């Protein structure tokens, strides 16, 4: 039964009428339009994105019943003083503590309580303030540095942030689910309850009789196979999100369970150089091993969301996916109408948003109803529907001579691609590229099998990571067998461009003692980045780019390159949402190179911007320089992670950008090696946030990232840092626990315990 509650919200008295138990987050966002408060893992209370201050104390609103706000004072970042907001935004911008920015406003709000102390907070106070929060992009080091900077006594030791950064940090830049259009209907999804079976029927009678103008649309036909737990079966639209979700819960799906299908080979990639077998069998020293890697989820904090609305004779779809043009073409072909896609920055992706399930559902429902339709998947739904990194089993053998010079290596990696493997060929091509050492005789075979399980895709590191992990472990085994220093064996065999990183790692390794893991990684850069400049006013240039903003600081890189190319002030450039009618198909190349070219074309046109209003200038980048990273992970005497240092090629990137990407990438690698996993529970994926192994701030070690001049144009990158850190962490675990450690994540290790992994019953977890 609904009731009415009054409370103070950012200085104004508000009244709401709702179910007393309705989560405060729902009421704040949907009734009061407070979209700066984010719904990350809602309603699980695990990520901190929904934090507000209630009577000055941080509270998670996704688990807080609205009735408990009655008579209280609720503060969001919007009513923190301008001085405090500016100080915090400046500090977060200075340390690059916001990447995708989805977690950031809530963290800044919690940090404001520390700023209010009027003194430098203790480490313990910082840990307590950050305890509810999760950040998937940064690795927390830059966030803690930002808090320290903001709370340092005296004048602020940083400059005012630029407008774009301030908008991200203070939560003023919208995400897809923050967009509102009049007359919008809300959608919810109905997912398969079993792992394998045949859909017999869907009974929507009860749901259709519920309040809110409920309509149920069946998306999978009766008689069709159900291929994984959580597969999309039907969708519901209703007047509000909560009514849609309630109706979706009332839809009954009759699925006849069937045995799991046998996995069958789907795709294969082979790399062969020289003749491996004779070299392996004749070598003085030989090492072999087999390692398994669990399936991992990207765990982006922003829920998969989409808004679709009629436009002309077709549809306009707002997405936070990867590829505006590609998605527009795909949806247009599926639905038979013209579709335009506008891409907003995503709240973390790491490659996971390529599948665009929410967009497809919202578009279909909008076309069916003729109304705008908004869909935001709950976090568990997203975990079941989006692609994940495939589990894999990788076997390797390698051989060296008495000096430690590598003679041959053979690696076989078999990926469990699940029911649907997205971009399998691309992932396999990247897997066979995952060796960063010179080998005269090398064979890498990567196979992907289709079978039971959730969809998989080319997430950050998905292909090359298992190969790199096994090769680094083989190097350590060979070094030990041949009595060669682990740095010596790497120095003898690393690709030449990695040498500067390795020598810095070697120097750093001498600073302390203890079990050590070291790893190098080189990955080919992406290509196809395109930047389109449109002169929209005498003092304004709109910037669009086909590389999505996925939390990698794209917008900052674009503007920095444009200022360099044109000499125009940075406020001239307004980075706009990419529109499929303007940008090329999605790519992953270097945006700064494309931006510099577009800026140079603009500068070459000469004259004032006034004379160029309406003109367009396009810049395209070819193959990007390689990404290089090296990582050292040192364990303490107790086997806990004591230090993580990551070294990356600086390239032409802003060093602060390179550093922040490397820190965040290394944190993800640490998580993959020690904690991250999508556990299986009775044949279905365990999709609750707390079981996915995301690292929390308190126990994540400080990560020191160092960009280095390496000559040439190679650069650093989050993916290279992720792979190097995962391999180095696993190597450190083996150095402490012994070679019996043969599984990632190494949840039973002391290193895992030191970052908060606990083994509970049959489902290991962290946090």
Task: Name the residues that contact ligand FES, by CB under 6 A.
Answer: 39-42, 45-50, 60, 62, 98-104, 135-138, 301, 348, 551
Output the CA–CA distances (angstroms, integers) from residue 164 to 35, 98, 543, in the order listed: 18, 12, 13
Alpha helix (H) residue ranges in 318-436: 324-335, 357-369, 379-385, 424-431
49, 102 contact by CB (below 8 A):
yes
Location of structure tokens 């009775």:
682
Cα-based angle 42, 359, 551 (whole degrees, multiple of 5): 65
CB of 138 to ligand FES, least distance (A): 5
Q: Which is nearer to ligand FES, 105 or 464 (CB)?
A: 105
CB of 554 to ligand FES, least distance (A): 13
Beta bridge partners of 226: 197
Q: Which is nearer to ligand FES, 420 or 766 (CB)?
A: 766
Q: Which is nearer to ligand FES, 165 or 436 (CB)?
A: 165
CB of 301 to ligand FES, least distance (A): 5
CB of 548 to ligand FES, least distance (A): 14
Alpha helix (H) residue ranges in 648-765: 655-674, 718-737, 750-754
- The closest alpha carbon to 574, from 617, 630, 529, 534, belongs to 534
- The closest alpha carbon to 109, from 141, 61, 64, belongs to 61
CB of 42 to ligand FES, least distance (A): 4
Q: Which is nearer to ligand FES, 47 or 306 (CB)?
A: 47
160, 353 contact by CB (below 8 A):
no
Q: Which is nearer to ligand FES, 464 or 671 (CB)?
A: 671
165, 556 contact by CB (below 8 A):
yes
Q: Which is nearer to ligand FES, 215 or 659 (CB)?
A: 659
3-class SS shares of the chain: helix, strand, coil, % to 5: 35, 25, 40
CB of 767 to ligand FES, least distance (A): 12
Q: Which is nearer to ligand FES, 553 or 599 (CB)?
A: 553
CB of 39 to ligand FES, least distance (A): 5
Could you tell me the maximum CA-CA distance found in the chain, to the nearest angstrom?
81
Beta bridge partners of 190: 234
Burial level of 76, CB count in 10 A (0-12/13-18/19+)? buried
Query: Can you tell me the distance from the alpha carbon of 599 to that of 565, in angstroms, rounded to the nearest whole number?
Result: 5
CB of 507 to ligand FES, least distance (A): 31
CB of 31 to ligand FES, least distance (A): 17
Query: Can you tell me the distance from the alpha carbon of 85 to that of 299, in angstroms, rounded to the nearest whole number?
Result: 28
CB of 50 to ligand FES, least distance (A): 3
Collapse the DSSP code of 161 into the 3-class scheme (helix H, G, I; strand E, B; otherwise coil) and give the result.
coil
Query: Can you tell me the distance from the alpha carbon of 376 to that of 305, in angstroms, rounded to the nearest whole number?
Result: 4
544, 531 contact by CB (below 8 A):
yes
CB of 547 to ligand FES, least distance (A): 17
Query: Can you tell me the distance from the alpha carbon of 518 to that of 645, in angstroms, rounded to the nearest whole number?
Result: 10
Q: Which is nearer to ligand FES, 477 or 657 (CB)?
A: 657
Output the CA–CA distances (angstroms, integers) from residue 472 to 468, 523, 726, 741, 752, in the order listed: 6, 15, 10, 14, 19
Location of structure tokens 């890498």:
444
HEC string of 15-72 equals: EEEECCCCEHHHHHHHHCCCCCCCCCCCCCCCCCCCEEEECCEEEECCCCEHHHHCCC
Q: Which is nearer to ligand FES, 461 or 664 (CB)?
A: 664
Q: Which is nearer to ligand FES, 137 or 307 (CB)?
A: 137
Q: Which is nearer to ligand FES, 58 or 517 (CB)?
A: 58
Q: Which is nearer to ligand FES, 298 or 358 (CB)?
A: 298
Tokens coding 75: 């503060």
Q: Which is nearer to ligand FES, 135 or 150 (CB)?
A: 135
Radius of gyration in angstroms for the set of CA atoms belonging to the chain, rounded to a whole number: 26
CB of 137 to ligand FES, least distance (A): 3
Q: Which residues contact 88 (CB under 8 A, 6 or more apart)?
A: 80, 108, 111, 112, 115, 146, 150, 169
CB of 195 to ligand FES, least distance (A): 27
Cα-based angle 380, 383, 387 (whole degrees, multiple of 5): 165
Q: Parallel, antiparallel, or unpaired: how do β-strands 530-537 and 616-620 relate?
A: antiparallel
First to last CA, the chain: 36
CB of 696 to ligand FES, least distance (A): 12
CB of 107 to ligand FES, least distance (A): 8
């Amino acid at each position: 039964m609904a009731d009415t509650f009054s409370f103070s919200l950012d200085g104004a008295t508000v009244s709401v009428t709702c179910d007393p138990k309705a989560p405060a987050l729902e009421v704040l966002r949907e009734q009061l339009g407070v979209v700066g408060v984010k719904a990350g893992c809602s309603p699980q209370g695990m990520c901190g994105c929904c934090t507000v201050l209630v009577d000055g104390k941080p509270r998670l609103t996704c688990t807080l019943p609205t009735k408990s706000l009655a008579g209280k004072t609720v503060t969001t970042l919007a009513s923190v003083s301008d001085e405090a907001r500016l100080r915090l935004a400046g500090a977060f911008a200075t340390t690059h503590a916001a990447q995708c920015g989805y977690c950031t406003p809530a963290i800044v709000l919690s940090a404001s309580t520390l700023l209010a102390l009027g003194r430098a907070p203790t480490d313990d106070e910082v840990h307590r303030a950050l305890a509810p929060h999760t950040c998937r992009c940064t690795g927390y080091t830059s966030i803690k540095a930002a808090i320290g900077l903001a709370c340092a006594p005296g004048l602020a030791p940083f400059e005012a942030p630029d407008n774009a950064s301030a908008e991200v940090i203070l939560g003023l830049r919208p995400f897809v689910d923050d967009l509102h259009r009049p007359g919008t209907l809300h959608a919810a999804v109905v997912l398969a309850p079993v792992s394998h079976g045949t859909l017999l029927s869907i009974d929507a009678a009860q749901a259709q009789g519920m309040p809110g103008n409920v309509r149920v649309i069946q998306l999978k036909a009766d008689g069709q196979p159900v291929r994984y737990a959580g597969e999309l079966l039907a969708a519901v639209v209703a007047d509000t999100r909560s009514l849609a979700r309630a109706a979706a819960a009332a839809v009954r799906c009759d699925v006849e369970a069937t045995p799991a299908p046998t996995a069958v080979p789907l795709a294969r990639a082979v790399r062969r150089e020289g003749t491996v077998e004779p070299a392996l069998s004749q070598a003085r020293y030989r090492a072999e091993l087999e390692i398994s890697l669990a399936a991992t989820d990207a765990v982006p904090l922003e829920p998969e969301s989409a808004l679709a609305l009629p436009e002309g004779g077709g549809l306009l779809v707002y997405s936070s996916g990867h590829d505006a043009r590609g998605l527009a073409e795909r949806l247009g072909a599926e639905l038979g109408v013209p579709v335009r896609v506008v891409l907003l920055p995503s709240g973390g992706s790491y490659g996971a948003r390529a599948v665009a399930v929410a967009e497809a559902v919202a578009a279909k429902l909008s076309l069916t109803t003729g109304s705008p339709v908004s869909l935001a998947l709950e976090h568990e739904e997203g975990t079941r529907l989006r692609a994940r990194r495939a589990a894999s089993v990788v076997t390797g053998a390698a051989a060296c001579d008495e000096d430690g010079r590598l003679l041959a290596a053979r690696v076989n990696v078999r990926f469990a691609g699940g029911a649907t493997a997205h971009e399998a060929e691309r992932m396999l091509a990247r897997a066979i590229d995952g060796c960063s050492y010179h080998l005269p005789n090398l064979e890498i075979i990567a196979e992907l099998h289709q079978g039971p399980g959730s969809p998989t895709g080319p997430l950050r590191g998905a292909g090359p990571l298992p190969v790199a992990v096994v090769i680094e472990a083989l190097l350590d085994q060979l070094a030990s067998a041949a009595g060669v220093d682990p740095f010596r064996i790497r120095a003898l065999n690393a690709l030449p461009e990695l040498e500067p990183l390795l020598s810095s790692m070697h120097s750093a390794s001498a600073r302390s003692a203890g079990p050590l893991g070291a790893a190098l990684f080189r990955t080919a850069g992406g290509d196809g980045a395109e930047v389109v400049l449109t002169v929209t006013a005498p003092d304004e240039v709109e910037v669009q780019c086909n590389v999505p903003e996925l939390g990698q600081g794209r917008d900052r890189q674009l503007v920095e390159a444009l200022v360099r190319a044109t000499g125009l002030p940075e406020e001239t450039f307004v980075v706009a949402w990419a529109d499929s009618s303007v940008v090329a198909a999605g790519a992953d190349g270097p945006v700064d190179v494309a931006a510099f070219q577009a800026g140079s074309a603009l500068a070459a046109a000469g004259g004032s911007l006034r004379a160029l209003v309406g003109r367009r200038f396009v810049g395209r980048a070819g193959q990007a320089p390689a990404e290089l990273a090296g990582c050292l992970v040192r364990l303490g005497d107790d086997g806990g992670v004591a230090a993580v240092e990551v070294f990356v090629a600086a390239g032409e990137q802003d060093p602060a950008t390179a550093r922040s990407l490397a820190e965040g990438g290394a944190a993800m690698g640490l998580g993959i090696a020690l904690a991250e996993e999508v556990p299986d529970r009775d044949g279905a994926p365990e999709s609750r946030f707390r079981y996915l192994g995301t690292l929390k701030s308190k126990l994540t070690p400080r990560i020191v990232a160092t960009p280095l001049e390496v000559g040439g144009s190679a650069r650093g990158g989050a993916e290279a840092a992720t792979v190097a850190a995962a391999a180095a962490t696993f190597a450190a675990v083996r150095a402490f626990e012994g070679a019996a450690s043969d599984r990632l994540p190494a949840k039973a290790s002391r290193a895992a315990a030191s970052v908060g992994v606990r083994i509970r019953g049959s489902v290991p977890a962290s946090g």
